[in-house]
Amino acid sequence: MYVNITGSANNKDVYIYQSYRKENGQTSSRIYKKLGKYNQLLERFAGDKDALMSWAREQARIETELYHQSNAKITVDFSQTSRIAMHETRVFHTGYLFLQSLCTELRLDQICRSIKNSHQFKYDFGAILTDLIYARILSPSSKRSSYEYCQSLLEPPKYSLQDLYRSLSIMAEESDRIQSELYCNSNFIHPRNKKILYYDCTNYYFEIEEEAGMKRYGKGKDHKPNPIVGMGLFMDADGIPISFDIFPGNQNEQTTLKPLETKIIQDFAGSQFIFCSDAGLGSASNRRFNSFSNRAYVITHSLKKMKAEDREIAMRPTQFRKIGSNQFIDLRSLDESNEEVYHSVYYKEIPVITGKMDETLIVTYSPKYKAYQRRIRARQIERAKQILSSSDRKRKGKNQNDPMRFVKKMAVTSDGEVVEKAIYDLDIEKIRNEEMYDGFYAVITNLDGNIADLLKINQRRWEIEENFRIMKTEFEARPVYVRRDDRIKAHFLTCYISLLVYRLLEKKLGDGYTIQQIIRTLRSMQMTLISNAGGYVPSYQRTELTDALHNAFDFKTDYEFITKSSMRSIIKETKQRKIPQDKI
């Protein structure tokens, strides 16, 4: 292979060409790989043409070597009487290489070096942090188990387990700095869409029974009787996390917004955006905070918690409009069996004055959403009936969707006196009260604009719930096993960075695969060492997804045989930042 520069004077491209022989026996050449735009590559080498050409020829040499290795035949002799070497590791995980390449593009190594220069320690802080990220995605477990898992990577840890535990305090101390720099650097991989900021909170439980530090008893999302810590998370309009923070489990979630959002405004250059959250975090104080400095908000609003007279106006079936139309519609006149009506959304706007804020309440009605809610409730009522005929009828409902909310307890009276015995029955009044809200939904905003666009902003809130689900299930962020507050924060920092890396990986793959497909594939990607051949054999199934991964990151581990030197080249490549696509 050789290097060739083609194009006009101001639009030259640098290519690697490959010589080959046609079927008729004549020799020819073809483009094998594009290295980039000549002028932009020249800028990279500070105008030094010789340095540029030297680099390009080296790339051609590497590609030639890889090409010959991939097409070379390997002969290996095995003996039925020879035993394998004692304590020799023969299987290695390689799915982390794609994650390592992303961490390199995020300049995590540069961030860690800067942090190390600010502290007095000698261990490899960057290696520890990245290993914890790989383990959280590929084999989530305790810190000790993560350390043991990393021994099976092609690059096992050179630091000690004690170094890992020591580094957690540094991670906690530098958490804000790491988040801020990762946000800036993530723009090199996927330009961040910061027009809309979504915020939500969740909590995580500990396998302990006594409070300590941030671990406090509170209302846990998992309904477990354990101390918890809370997490507030911001994400952008593409579902990619921006920032997080941890707070005590007994703290009111509404008070967590302003400190974290203020930090984003200061550190993340995000002073102009639309804030979107659920009703639980959309207090008047939080809405007022997002009414200044060109900020705005779109927040869900609970119809059930409105004053009776305001709710009656909001849910009155008259003066609704179909989205895209100015004609008023009475909801009672709708034929919901009509396919078009069934899939349409209707709305009304109600001006609201809260303190000195001018707001608009947008109430929507969807026949399809109504049918969905009734299907869900029908199943819950059926379960409630089953509970009535079992010994479980005395238990209390754990949440607002528990079928026990439809079971009521009634005291038996005799001659006006209450008898100790009680009976249980279906709460018909409760069912009818819930049915009143079927199909209705509301948001409150200080924005004027297209109703469909405002509603779309709110519809994307499911992605922040998805982010929490990924951390809690695929990444097994709970239960939390570390105890000290600083180590707790470090634990969630690694979970947060893992989520960021995963979301960017999704973007690299064009959002074409589910998380189950991606995680399962990465975890399955292993290589088996053939010692007497001096190389590795892939031990995973090649699929469309493995091809997509290799194409997205521009290296391949799916050749029938890969020499140790070729594997070292691949590893080295994942640690070298590539020129961004818009620079090529």
Per residue in 301-343, pLDDT (tens digit) is 999 999 999 999 999 999 999 998 999 999 999 999 999 999 9
Give the pLDDT confidence score for residue 425 in this predicted structure.
Answer: 86
Question: Does the structure show a pLDDT above 70 at 397?
Answer: no
In this prediction, residue 221 has a pLDDT band, given cuts at 50, 70 and 90, of confident
Cis check for the bond before 367: say yes or no (omega within 30 of 0). Answer: no
* Domain C-terminal end among 383, 403, 435: 435
3-class DSSP state of 278: coil
Range of the structural domain that residue 37 is part of: 2-71
In a domain, 42, yes or no: yes
Give the pLDDT confidence score for residue 418 in this predicted structure.
Answer: 55
Give the pLDDT confidence score for residue 85 in this predicted structure.
Answer: 85
Question: Does the structure show a pLDDT above 80 at 391?
Answer: no
Provide the edge-to-edge strand list for the sheet that holds 2-8: 2-8, 11-21, 27-37
Report residue 515 as tokens: 């998380």
Question: What average pLDDT does range 385-408 have in this prediction?
Answer: 77
Count helices and strands in the chain by DSSP H and E runs: 20, 19
In a domain, 111, yes or no: no
Question: Does the structure show a pLDDT above 60 at 584?
Answer: no
**How much of the chain is helix, strand and coil, in % rounded to 5?**
45, 20, 35
Give the pLDDT confidence score for residue 359 in this predicted structure.
Answer: 92
Bridge partners, residue 6, by sequence:
13
Highest mean pLDDT among 88-92, 210-214, 477-481: 88-92
Give the pLDDT confidence score for residue 94 in this predicted structure.
Answer: 96
Give the pLDDT confidence score for residue 394 in this predicted structure.
Answer: 64
Give the pLDDT confidence score for residue 78 in this predicted structure.
Answer: 81
Q: Which residue has the higher pLDDT, 479 or 490?
A: 490
Give the pLDDT confidence score for residue 63 in this predicted structure.
Answer: 84
Give the pLDDT confidence score for residue 510 in this predicted structure.
Answer: 94
Instruction: Determine which helix (DSSP H) or strand (DSSP E) holds 104, and give its type and residue range.
Output: helix 96-105
pTM: 0.81
Tell me 85's DSSP state.
Answer: P
Give the pLDDT confidence score for residue 129 in this predicted structure.
Answer: 97
Is residue 377 within 8 Å of 434, Cβ to Cβ?
Answer: yes
CA distances from 104 to 422, 569, 577 (A): 66, 15, 6
Give the pLDDT confidence score for residue 395 in this predicted structure.
Answer: 66
* Domain C-terminal end among 44, 71, 98: 71
Q: Could you report the per-residue pLDDT of 134-191, keeping only the tens digit for each?
A: 999 999 999 999 999 999 999 999 999 999 999 999 999 999 999 999 999 999 999 9
Could you give the CA distance from residue 444 to residue 198 in angstroms, rounded to a whole number?
A: 15
Q: Could you report the per-residue pLDDT of 238-264, keeping only the tens digit for each?
A: 999 999 999 998 998 888 888 888 888
In this prediction, residue 66 has a pLDDT band, given cuts at 50, 70 and 90, of confident
Question: What average pLDDT does range 514-543 have in this prediction?
Answer: 94
Give the pLDDT confidence score for residue 414 in this predicted structure.
Answer: 61
User: Which distant-in-sequence residues (6+ apart) come within 8 Å of 524 by Cβ?
Assistant: 95, 540, 541
Q: Could you report the per-residue pLDDT of 181-219, keeping only the tens digit for each?
A: 999 999 999 999 888 999 999 999 888 777 888 988 888
Give the pLDDT confidence score for residue 581 in this predicted structure.
Answer: 42
In a domain, 182, yes or no: no
Taking the CA atoms of 509, 511, 513 and 514 in sequence, report the sign of the dihedral they define: positive
In a domain, 324, yes or no: no
Angle at 288 between CA 283 and CA 289, to 5 degrees: 100
In a domain, 21, yes or no: yes
Question: Does the structure show a pLDDT above 80 at 354?
Answer: no
Could you give the CA distance from residue 312 to residue 24 in angstroms, rounded to a whole number?
A: 84
Give the pLDDT confidence score for residue 528 in this predicted structure.
Answer: 95
Tell me 193's DSSP state.
Answer: -
Taking the CA atoms of 116, 121, 124 and 130 in sequence, report the sign of the dihedral they define: negative
Contacts of range 62-71, beta carbons closer than 8 Å, 24 or more positions apart: 62/569, 63/1, 63/16, 63/32, 63/33, 64/1, 65/566, 66/566, 66/569, 67/1, 67/18, 69/559, 69/562, 69/563, 69/566, 70/559
In this prediction, residue 107 has a pLDDT band, given cuts at 50, 70 and 90, of very high
Q: Convert 204-240 into a string of H (helix), E (strand) and C (coil).
A: EEECCCCCECCEECCCCCCCCCCCEEEEEEEECCCCC
Give the pLDDT confidence score for residue 270 in this predicted structure.
Answer: 59
In this prediction, residue 408 has a pLDDT band, given cuts at 50, 70 and 90, of confident
Could you give the CA distance from residue 56 to residue 4 in angstroms, rounded to a whole number?
A: 9
Give the pLDDT confidence score for residue 449 in this predicted structure.
Answer: 84
Give the pLDDT confidence score for residue 229 in this predicted structure.
Answer: 92
Please tell me the total count of domains within the chain. 2
Question: Does the structure show a pLDDT above 60 at 384?
Answer: yes
* Domain C-terminal end among 33, 54, 71: 71
In a domain, 381, yes or no: yes
Question: Does the structure show a pLDDT above 80 at 352?
Answer: yes
Q: Which residue has the higher pLDDT, 392 or 543?
A: 543
In a domain, 13, yes or no: yes
Question: Does the structure show a pLDDT above 60 at 583?
Answer: no
Give the pLDDT confidence score for residue 370 in this predicted structure.
Answer: 96
In a domain, 142, yes or no: no
Q: Which of 241-245, 320-324, 365-369, 409-413 has the lowest mean pLDDT?
A: 409-413
Percent of the chain with pLDDT over 70: 94
Mean pLDDT over all residues of the chain? Answer: 89
In this prediction, residue 582 has a pLDDT band, given cuts at 50, 70 and 90, of very low
